[in-house]
Amino acid sequence: MKKSIGILVIVLGIVFSLLTTTLAFSAEKVEITYWGIGDDGANIMPKLVKRFNDAHPNIEVKYLIVPLEQGTATKLLTAIAGGNPPDAARLDRTMTVQWGALGSLVPLDEFMKDSGVKREDFYPRALDDCIWNDQVWALPVEADPCAMLFWNKDLFRQVGLNPEKPPKSIEELDELADKLTKRDDRGNFERIGFAPWLHMGFTFWPSGWAFGGEFYDPKTKKVTANDPKIVQAMEWVLSYAKKLDATRVKSFAATYSTAAAINPFIAGRLAMAYDGVWAIGLLKKYAPKLKYGWRTVPGYSKGGRENFFVLGCSVVIPKGSKHPKEAWEFINWLTSGDALRDWCSANSYLPAKIDVADNPIFFRNPDYARMISIMKTIYDSPPVMPAIGVYTSEIQAAQDAVIYFQKTPKQALDDVTTKVQAELNKYLR
Amino acid sequence: MKSQLYISKVTKRNIRNGLLFVSPFLIGFTCFIAYPILASLYYSFCDFNIFQEPRWIGIENYRNMLKDDLFITSAYNTIYYTLLYIPFSLFFGIGMALLLNTKVKGLSIYRTIYYLPTLVPTVAASILWLQILDPTYGLINNILRIFGIYGPGWIADPKWAKPSLVIMGFWGIGGAVIIYLAGLQDVPQQLYEAAELDGASSWQKVIYITIPMISPIILFNLIIGIIGALQYFTQAYVMTSGGPANSTLFYSLYLFRNAFQFFRMGYASAMAWLLFITTLICTLVVLKSSARWVYYGGTK
């Protein structure tokens, strides 16, 4: 008995002394943690964090790199659910509205008012992506054009097309794609003109928008995946699947993946493709001699429109953060001025804040300058609603089902509409 | 009578000490294993998105499973994989063990080579096999091309995706082979000698002596194999994300997605419990049937 009391006293003594020392330290500086989910290791972020810490003596930011997942952020989710979240984190913009609607994030409107940050400071759709129930749940960081129509000028020249004249409409795109597709005597592809589900086409959004379709009506809060224009877009995708045989195309393209070093477009095997701003860097690195051009995705001439798919990340303050004010200081700093400019130029991103984008660093590059001016008027992003996780997954599966001839376009899109609407209704209760 | 109710002081002390020694495990087990499992049973009857309080909805999650076509697809994919993989894995496993039990030169080298793949971490193996199964530049199709065969799209073809994963599974069969090998060492030589005297052929020796003698090991590998196949996840998550066209959407992968991408924790918990009960039933059926075909050697 005496022995066990003795041990208990010693253990309590150690624990107590540890607690008091940490309490003493925390009284001086507020320590906040920031999770850079998906950040590259050799990146500029550590330097930015140091710059912030030096400029703000009462706040110390601890930076942690967290790996990126596809469609999920399990580490952040479990941290918030477990009551032990970071004070700030980087999160894909399409996820912010769902997470906000679930009550897992801290709304930022009050902070924005106090710091004089106005909604108009950002590209309109960039901030819209983060608003649900008229509350701002995240601050956008970058504006990444991710589905532009790239075309290979060399291949155009080879088949006798004018390399400076990309297709102006979907119909023209179809014509050119046929001219550019080449098979060998066994019927396998040597070159494919275009396939709407390759590269960033796997998301299906750009194809839907090209035919003038809208996937969601924010006024009625109705999912409109089976809108006649979108069904028309899916029929168009199906026509390519019939012409080319999706399995053959997937085998042809399966060697390459969109984010890895080579892809069919860079290898000169795909004449036209939906791809993102990162393709410019990849082309420079892996195919410097390839002459290419890019433009907004052309629209269907009868009722369609050109579109420009822009995505990006944002920063959020998870619910349960013990220092939301200091966290706000950090994320506001990170998404404006010099910090944002340096982060974006180091990673070849474009900033989501208008005054930062109006910087010669970005205008020096003719591609970026074009993108920035396009984004002022044409800017498309996936529907802003909490069921977006299910919507993204379902619409991709629908396109897959159509190109592998498992479902008709109308059937596939009807299923998506029913499912996603049911999911959305849970949030509207 | 008195002696039956009376627990001696010594026994009492032993019980207390024993419990004290086991207490760390008991506390850990209760907190980290038993409680979460029971909690998930409760959540399976709730609508729970992890950030808000769970809402009791009775058996609605279980009812919705039957209406959910992705659930049916994922169950079908998992059962397909299990039925395709298990029989072949038994056949190849035992066959390979028999081969690795022959007295040839360099036997230990062969055994090492065939065991090495099991040491490769699953994620690394998945990325490696993405290359091997590649339709245009992969190893398999290139070798087939030498013989003039144009291989299918393997992992990129909805019809071939699951068989590709089964083939990939055979690569890691070394673990089971080692266990079979251990069992083969225990088969008494006299049985083989007696059989030879009676004029048995090699094939008959295998069927009538070897297999029955290692049948407990086969039972073990069968049960472990079924449990593993029903929970198949990592390779699909890393290599295909359920595609193409949901042909590799396995049960565990769909469960994971429901939990962490769609925030349907209640539904995912219900899926987990259904998987548990299914695995339990399969195991019991196999065990029950084992009385007929498993021979435990010994004095009887």
* Tens digit of each residue's pLDDT (9 = 90 or more) over A343-372: 888 877 888 988 888 888 888 888 888 888
Same domain, A279 and A298: yes
Q: Of A250, A390, A426, which has the smallest distance from its Cβ to B156's Cβ?
A: A250
Q: Of B51, B156, B244, which has the smallest distance from its Cβ to A103's Cβ?
A: B51
Contact B135 A254 (CB under 8 A): yes
Contact A81 B157 (CB under 8 A): no
Q: Is A24 a residue whose pLDDT tops 60? A: no
Is residue A14, in this structure, part of any structural domain at all?
Answer: no
Backbone angles phi, psi at B283, to 5 degrees: -65, -45
Q: What is the pLDDT of residues A367-393, one digit of tens each?
A: 888 888 888 888 888 998 888 888 988
Give chain B positions within 8 Å (CB) of A250.
153, 156-157, 244
Give chain A positions within 8 Å (CB) of B263.
98, 102, 389
Is residue A36, in this structure, part of any structural domain at all?
Answer: yes
Same domain, A206 and A318: no
Buried residues in B97-126 as b, exposed as e (16+ CB within 10 A): bbebbeeeeeeeeebeebbeeeeeeeeebb
C-alpha A124: how far from chain center: 16
Give chain B positions within 8 Å (CB) of A403.
245
Give chain B positions within 8 Å (CB) of A429.
none
pLDDT on residue B299: 40
Is residue A17, in this structure, part of any structural domain at all?
Answer: no
The pTM of the full predicted model, rounded to 2 decimals, is 0.82
Residue A159 touches chain B, beta carbons under 8 Å = no
**How many structural domains is chain A composed of?**
2
* Domain regions of chain B by residue span: 2-43, 64-293
d(CA A155, CA A293) in angstroms, rounded, equals 12
By residue count, chain A amounts to 429
Contact B153 A250 (CB under 8 A): yes
Same domain, A63 and A131: yes
Complex ipTM more than 0.90, yes or no: no
Nearest by Cα to A210 from A323, A273, A296, A311: A296
Residue A390 touches chain B, beta carbons under 8 Å = yes
Q: Of B51, B52, B156, which has the smallest distance from its Cβ to A254's Cβ?
A: B156
Same domain, A194 and A322: no
Q: Of B158, B260, B262, which has the smallest distance from its Cβ to A404's Cβ?
A: B158
Q: Of B153, B245, B262, which has the smallest distance from its Cβ to A401's Cβ?
A: B245
Residue A254 touches chain B, beta carbons under 8 Å = yes
Chain A nearest-CA residue for B159: A247
d(CA A271, CA A160) in angstroms, rounded, equals 13
CATH architecture of B64-293: Orthogonal Bundle (1.10)
Q: Is A63 helix (H, G, I), strand (E, B) or coil?
A: strand
CATH number at residue A64: 3.40.190.10
* Chain B residues whose C-beta sits inside 8 Å of any chain A C-beta: 47, 49-52, 69-70, 134-137, 150, 153, 155-158, 241, 243-246, 257, 260-263
Same domain, A399 and A371: no
Q: Classify residue A344 by its DSSP letter.
A: H
Q: Work out the minimum CA distance from B138 to partner chain A, whole angstroms.
A: 8
Nearest by Cα to A403 from A263, A254, A269, A247: A247
Q: Is A380 exposed, middle or buried (0-12, 13-18, 19+ CB in 10 A)?
A: buried
Same domain, A171 and A89: no
Give chain A positions within 8 Å (CB) of B51.
80-81, 102-104, 319
Helix (H) or strand (E) holding B172: none
Residue A252 touches chain B, beta carbons under 8 Å = yes
Same domain, A106 and A202: no
Q: Which domain holds residue A46?
A: 29-143+312-375
Nearest by Cα to A87 from A31, A147, A170: A31
d(CA B175, CA A55) in angstroms, rounded, equals 57
Give chain A positions within 8 Å (CB) of B243.
400
pLDDT on residue A41: 59
Q: Is A113 a residue whose pLDDT tops 50? A: yes
Is residue A1, in this structure, part of any structural domain at all?
Answer: no
Is residue A351, in this structure, part of any structural domain at all?
Answer: yes
Look up residue A380 and give its amino acid.
D
Contact A400 B244 (CB under 8 A): yes
What is the residue-level pLDDT of chain B in tens, covering all 300 positions?
Answer: 555 667 788 888 999 999 999 999 999 999 999 999 999 999 999 999 888 889 999 899 999 999 888 999 999 999 999 999 999 999 999 999 999 998 889 999 999 999 999 999 998 999 889 888 887 778 888 888 888 877 787 887 888 899 999 999 999 899 899 999 999 998 888 888 998 898 888 888 888 889 989 999 999 999 999 999 999 999 999 888 887 888 999 999 999 999 998 889 999 999 999 999 999 999 999 999 998 888 876 543
Q: Of B150, B244, B246, which has the smallest distance from its Cβ to A250's Cβ?
A: B244
Same domain, A215 and A345: no
Same domain, A184 and A239: yes
Same domain, A213 and A343: no
Same domain, A286 and A411: yes
Same domain, A46 and A119: yes
Contact B244 A255 (CB under 8 A): no
Retrieve residue B170's tokens.
């055979």
